[in-house]
A and B are shown apart, each in its own frame.
Chain A
């Protein structure tokens, strides 16, 4: 394993004329949890999507576990990777979305085993066995054969986490995974994430749950308008922010 799990260096990303990331540099060590905070539109989702190459970056470099994301560098030149290598990279990085994005035409277990069977070519029986185990681990042993439409938001999000874990990723990306949930369902999802962190999973978590960040994060990064405004230990960024923008944002979030 490389010494840094994720390393971003001067990452720039544009959508048309709009520059969304303006030189982001980050490092996440293996087993570390990084919480990413910032106002709406600051580029948090975009940054996560760049890490597994769902979006292409325009400048800078991102490495995951020592490997350059999306490109091969040879003699000072960059070569785009073919699809087969990009998918292989993505298969090693789990991602969970704000709106769950479960496959609605598949049951919980079918959602979980789809990628292990299609991408990793695991035998179906084996995939089902470990898929059941994962669903049990997120507390859904009795919902294995249920379609997503018949599950609560919290249950759907836990299936989505199990689906990502089924690929045995070395890094997990969480994009505001509790923002679409009713308040009473937030805890069951955060608990699953706490467990994961305790078991040593490397995670980048975009969240507005300050309490969670304070408890679980090793590092907190505050972003605004495509730049990192402040970063450091949770006690420093959350409780003693230096920057005016950080203070203002935390004031707004903690009001709720």
Chain B
């Protein structure tokens, strides 16, 4: 039987179809896995809450104690300064590496090879004992007279040694990240900028680097978080950062576990804050790329917590036709 063709008039009169109210497909495997994980979580939570050896009271006592907080400040300072050195050095090394001068690119290559090829702990120890290598540090003309003499022992305090070691080491890693970011920018961008008469540095600063940032920021975020944790190595040169402060306390009172938990809580808190910051910086440098502005973190969280409301959109309204088209 042939279906009767509807007239345009009939089509305009039909109601929009009902919203879909389908019964969802069941996923038994997913339910079993979820049940197993739920049991494990409950068991873990129970043990953490009831095992007296966690000594949560002690954790509470030390969480905001002045020695721990001072250690936290040292850890944060060290992270910030080392990352700042690392990023600036990384840009310089990346530009050197891409330079047409064989000496510049070769020097950059050797630097990266050397600092990435040795453990950062070794580098921290080296800087700490640099006075054994260069007892005095002078400022002057190479192979000529020098004007300022300083005693390396007093100049290179453990903090300075840690800062230099971590920062110079980070520079080697950051340079590869920056270089990958710069390479990710299409060559047409440089062509267009140069065709407009922009100089090479202008092109780099105004056109290439802002776009390279999109590729540079995410790994830099991970580097920062990883730096925060790597700073704990300075315990080896006796610098009282967060971890070493905790160690100093438990070496006296033997409350090892609660103090390690205290330090961990602070590391976790700072990495969480860093992650949120990273999200917003990425959003900033993504501007002009996505066709729609990305949702903010809160909007994302809301969508994640209540996926049903976010995912299932009502069917689009059928196009309205003028009622009185006759």
Q: Which of A83, A90, A148 contacts B195 (CB 8 A)?
A: A90
* Contact, CB under 8 Å: B206 / A149: no
* Contact, CB under 8 Å: A115 / B197: yes
- A91: chain B residues at CB < 8 Å are 196-197
Most buried by B among A52, A84, A87, A95: A87
> A248: shortest Cβ distance to chain B, in Å?
31
- A106: chain B residues at CB < 8 Å are 288
Does A71 sit at the interface, judged by CB under 8 A?
no
Chain B residue nearest to A92 in the complex (CB): B197
- A92: chain B residues at CB < 8 Å are 197
- A118: chain B residues at CB < 8 Å are 198, 202, 206
* Contact, CB under 8 Å: B211 / A104: yes
Size category, B interface: 20 to 34
A-contacting residues, B187-215, CB 8 Å: 188-189, 191-200, 202, 206-207, 210-211
Given A101-B189, A104-B211, A118-B202: A95 in contact with B195 (beta carbons within 8 A)? yes
* Contact, CB under 8 Å: A105 / B195: no
Does A24 sit at the interface, judged by CB under 8 A?
no
B-contacting residues, A83-132, CB 8 Å: 83-84, 87-95, 97, 99, 101-107, 114-115, 118-119
Does B26 sit at the interface, judged by CB under 8 A?
no
> B201: shortest Cβ distance to chain A, in Å?
9
- A90: chain B residues at CB < 8 Å are 194-197
Does B289 sit at the interface, judged by CB under 8 A?
yes
Q: Tell me the complex Cα distance, A114–B287, Å.
A: 17
* A40-77 to B contact mask, C-beta < 8 Å, 1/0: 00000000010010100000000000000000000000
Q: Which of A101, A107, A119, A150 contacts B192 (CB 8 A)?
A: A101
* Contact, CB under 8 Å: B290 / A149: yes
* Contact, CB under 8 Å: B288 / A119: no
Does A147 sit at the interface, judged by CB under 8 A?
yes
* Contact, CB under 8 Å: A167 / B196: yes
* Contact, CB under 8 Å: A105 / B198: no
Q: Which of A49, A115, A147 contacts B196 (CB 8 A)?
A: A115
Does B291 sit at the interface, judged by CB under 8 A?
yes
- B186: chain A residues at CB < 8 Å are 101
* Contact, CB under 8 Å: A114 / B196: yes
* Contact, CB under 8 Å: A83 / B197: no
- B189: chain A residues at CB < 8 Å are 101, 103
> A121: shortest Cβ distance to chain B, in Å?
11
The prevalent SS among residues of B at the interface is helix
* Contact, CB under 8 Å: B188 / A163: no
Q: Tell me the complex Cα distance, A218–B193, Å.
A: 30
* Contact, CB under 8 Å: B188 / A97: yes
* Contact, CB under 8 Å: A105 / B197: no
Q: Tell me the complex Cα distance, A92–B196, Å.
A: 8
Q: Which of B188, B198, B210, B291 contacts A149 (CB 8 A)?
A: B291
> A185: shortest Cβ distance to chain B, in Å?
18
A-contacting residues, B157-212, CB 8 Å: 186, 188-189, 191-200, 202, 206-207, 210-211
* B200-232 to A contact mask, C-beta < 8 Å, 1/0: 101000110011000000000000000000000
B-contacting residues, A150-164, CB 8 Å: 150, 160, 163-164
* Contact, CB under 8 Å: B194 / A104: no
> A86: shortest Cβ distance to chain B, in Å?
9
* Contact, CB under 8 Å: B289 / A104: yes
- A101: chain B residues at CB < 8 Å are 186, 188-189, 191-192
* Contact, CB under 8 Å: A149 / B196: no
* Contact, CB under 8 Å: A52 / B288: no
Q: Tell me the complex Cα distance, A101–B210, Å.
A: 15
Q: Which of A54, A149, A160 contacts B194 (CB 8 A)?
A: A54
* Contact, CB under 8 Å: B199 / A84: yes
Given A101-B189, A104-B288, A106-B288: A83 in contact with B200 (beta carbons within 8 A)? yes
* Contact, CB under 8 Å: B196 / A163: yes
| Extra A-B contacts (6), CB below 8 Å, given A90-B197, A104-B289, A118-B202 | A54-B195, A97-B192, A101-B191, A103-B189, A107-B288, A118-B206
Q: Interface residues, chain B, CB within 8 Å of chain A? A: 186, 188-189, 191-200, 202, 206-207, 210-211, 285, 287-291
Offer 17 A-B interface pairs, CB within 8 angstroms, sorted by A.
A54-B195, A87-B198, A92-B197, A94-B195, A95-B195, A99-B188, A101-B188, A103-B207, A105-B285, A115-B197, A118-B202, A118-B206, A147-B288, A149-B288, A149-B291, A160-B192, A164-B195
